[in-house]
Structure 1
């Protein structure tokens, strides 16, 4: 007598009695789902902090973090990215604008200019967006990592990086 799967037009598989995926595939699927969920939660948090749409929040996060990463050394960049949602770090690795630049000694005005150009924002609108992104990032990382990043920033950028009191 045919089993229930055969009656439903499905073949019996070596994957298990219930037709489950192999454990490696299930782990990969869970990991991808968790990464996606973590990223969505970050974007939602940024939308709430900055009063922006998800599409704008994603662009803002990539632009701001790309600029900040150009200001800190590569070891600190790796440490920072290790605490960010995986999907966000994937987007940062695709940031082509500053790909060939060495980390530079620019300050607040240059960072705001870069982000403003990336997002096509007027100068008055840039600082609140940058602050929203940086605060959302700080909410995502350990206090120790936040201090490590801040130690590499000039005073005028530290003001943007600090959590509001």
Structure 2
């Protein structure tokens, strides 16, 4: 690996670490939960918005976070994400192996960290792509 590639990889790692640290601080999430929560919530969110908007959101997220997102393929069937707030919370609860009653504060914490990480325009675009009950959850992070 060249020195330039090493610097680039180091930068990606620092950007991701800063993002995770920020999520942990604003959401008051335990270190053991924050990374898994970020991956789960971002993945579910990307599946709830229009594909073009998902690409726009991905462009503002740390690349290293995107590397952790599950990949769908011919050997792995597509997951059913549903459209409601309850469906969203169930998916996150399954991923984190928690009861669904425990995950709303975690989702709000990740949403807050995301909103502070992305541009105001992108936050508005994400909100406008969500169904009303998820828009409410997204707004409650303000």
The correspondence of residues 39-54 of structure 1 with structure 2, limited to 5 A, is: 39-54=16-31
Paired residues of 1:36 and 1:87 also in contact (CA < 8 A): yes
What's 1:121 paired with? 98
Paired residues of 2:27 and 2:112 also in contact (CA < 8 A): no
For the residues of structure 2 that align with 1:40 and 1:99, how far apart are their CA atoms? 31
Any runs of at least 4 consecutive aligned residues in structure 1 with deviations exceeding 3 A, and if so which?
none
Paired residues of 1:134 and 1:161 also in contact (CA < 8 A): yes
RMSD: 2.3
What's 1:100 paired with? 78
Q: Which runs of 5+ in 1 are unaligned?
A: 1-23
Q: Aligned-pair distance for 1:55?
A: 3.3
Match of 1:58 among 24, 35, 42: 35
What's 1:73 paired with? 50
Q: TM-score of the superposition, structure 2-length normalised?
A: 0.87
Q: Which runs of 5+ in 2 are unaligned?
A: none
Between Structure 1 and Structure 2, how many residues are aligned?
140
What's 1:147 paired with? 124
- CA spacing shift, 1:132–1:87, aligned 2, 3 Å: same
Paired residues of 1:70 and 1:101 also in contact (CA < 8 A): no
Rg comparison, structure with higher value: 1
Q: Aligned-pair distance for 1:49?
A: 2.1
